[in-house]
Amino acid sequence: MSFYTTEEQVYELFSRAGEIKKIIMGLDKNTKTPCGFCFVLYYSREDTEDACKYISGTILDDRPIRVDFDWGFQDGRQWGRGRSGGQVRDEYRTDYDPDILLIV
């Protein structure tokens, strides 16, 4: 997901799978800016499964996104877990450029 994707864009896309309970944008722990992931919570498991099945691989903000099932959000998980505050996966990439491609 792009660092510049807004919560409104996420809502517009993911609401196609069902009624959204809450969206939590992933933030860089140090700068408190978006770092390319989010949590989308649905009211029903069926809607969650539909999002994983039908939305993963679609394009959002000019980038393909990956949607995975998660057992639930817990406070503290909104922060990137990398040493720099962002995503761990970005610290090991040699071709990393946040403006080119970032998959959620």
| Residue-number span of the structural domain to which 83 is assigned | 7-91
pTM of the model: 0.68
Residue at 1 is within a domain:
no
Residue at 86 is within a domain:
yes
- Render pLDDT for 81-90 as a digit per residue (tens, 0 to 9): 445 544 445 5
- Render pLDDT for 26-66 as a digit per residue (tens, 0 to 9): 888 788 888 888 989 999 999 999 999 999 999 999 999 99
- Determine the Cα–Cα distance for residues 70 and 40; give it in Å rounded to an integer: 10
Residue at 96 is within a domain:
no
Residue at 98 is within a domain:
no
Residue at 74 is within a domain:
yes
* Residue 36 in tokens: 């390319």
Which residues are CB-neighbours of 71 under 8 A, at least 6 positions away?
Answer: none
CATH value at residue 79:
3.30.70.330
